[in-house]
Amino acid sequence: MAGVVVVGVGPGIGLAVARRFVREGMSAGLLARSEATVKAAAEELAGADVLPVTADVTDEVALRAALDRVVEAYGVPEVVVYNAALIQADRVGDLTAQQHRDAWAVNVIGAMTTAAHVVPAMAERGNGSFLITGGMPLPKPDYASLSLGKAGVRTLVTLLDQQYGAAGVHAATVTVSGGVGPGTGWDPDEIAQHYWRLHTQAPADWIHEVVI
């Protein structure tokens, strides 16, 4: 059964989103760079139909192969969540050009590669959701590379909507404006609800960014 794919299924938002969607009876493809991380996520979702796969989002070949494994197992997903990010404190001038490229590869290019690999098939089917974990609703000088990256994925969502929205693909970001933690204003389980609401919106009601 086609279901959800979570790219970047860490112990916070990624796992919470996977848990929210499998609660609805969906299968889940779980992707992370670390085998220990995806195994731990699969164990947390014991009893659900999940496929843990390791892939580094900066490795295009490995990322595409991991997505293919999920599609082969479950079919073209109903929803893909891109939750990978390189979160680091840096100011303009702190990083080398290569370090900026490394951050951009995780924060933006991985999302673009994922979208390029799965969204055309969603559009051909006539429906699907591509949701990205956003952040930095306003740029912060102490988080220069992350601010640039989150601006990049916000633009990517606009481009995906322009290219595929009419074909039935809902592209959106969930922009998280604070530190994620259980029992806080940014509790991961409560954040996961926003992904579900975006996925279940009727096309006439689509919104493309939720800021929390």
Q: Residues 45-56: pLDDT tens digits?
A: 999 999 999 999
Is the pLDDT reported for residue 184 higher than 90?
no
> Do residues 107 and 149 lie in contact, with contact meaning Cβ atoms separated by under 8 Å?
yes
Is the pLDDT reported for residue 17 higher than 70?
yes
Average pLDDT across the chain, whole number: 95
Give residue 160's pLDDT band: very low, low, confident or very high (50, 70, 90): very high
Is the pLDDT reported for residue 185 higher than 90?
no
The pair phi, psi for residue 210, each rounded to 5°, is -115, 125
Give residue 198's pLDDT band: very low, low, confident or very high (50, 70, 90): very high
Mean pLDDT of 112-132: 98
User: Which distant-in-sequence residues (6+ apart) come within 8 Å of 127 by Cβ?
Assistant: 78, 168, 169
How far is CA 147 from its chain centroid?
17
CA distance 100 to 37: 25
CA distance 158 to 105: 19
Mean pLDDT of 145-165: 97
The whole-number pLDDT of residue 186 equals: 85
> Do residues 174 and 198 lie in contact, with contact meaning Cβ atoms separated by under 8 Å?
yes
Give residue 120's pLDDT band: very low, low, confident or very high (50, 70, 90): very high
List, for residues 58-88, the tens digit of each pLDDT value: 999 999 999 999 999 999 999 999 999 999 9
The whole-number pLDDT of residue 1 equals: 60
How far is CA 3 from its chain centroid?
14
CA distance 81 to 172: 10
Query: Collapsing DSSP states into helix, strand and coil, what is residue 92?
Result: coil
**pTM of the shown model:** 0.95
Q: Give the 3-state DSSP-derived string for 119-182, with helices as H, strands as E and coil as C.
A: HHHHHHHCCEEEEEEEECCCCCCCEHHHHHHHHHHHHHHHHHHHHHHHHCEEEEEEEECCCCCC
Mean pLDDT of 128-146: 95
How far is CA 68 from its chain centroid?
16
The whole-number pLDDT of residue 183 equals: 77
Mean pLDDT of 19-39: 96
Query: What count of Cα atoms within 13 Å lies in the side-chain half-sphere of residue 57?
Result: 26
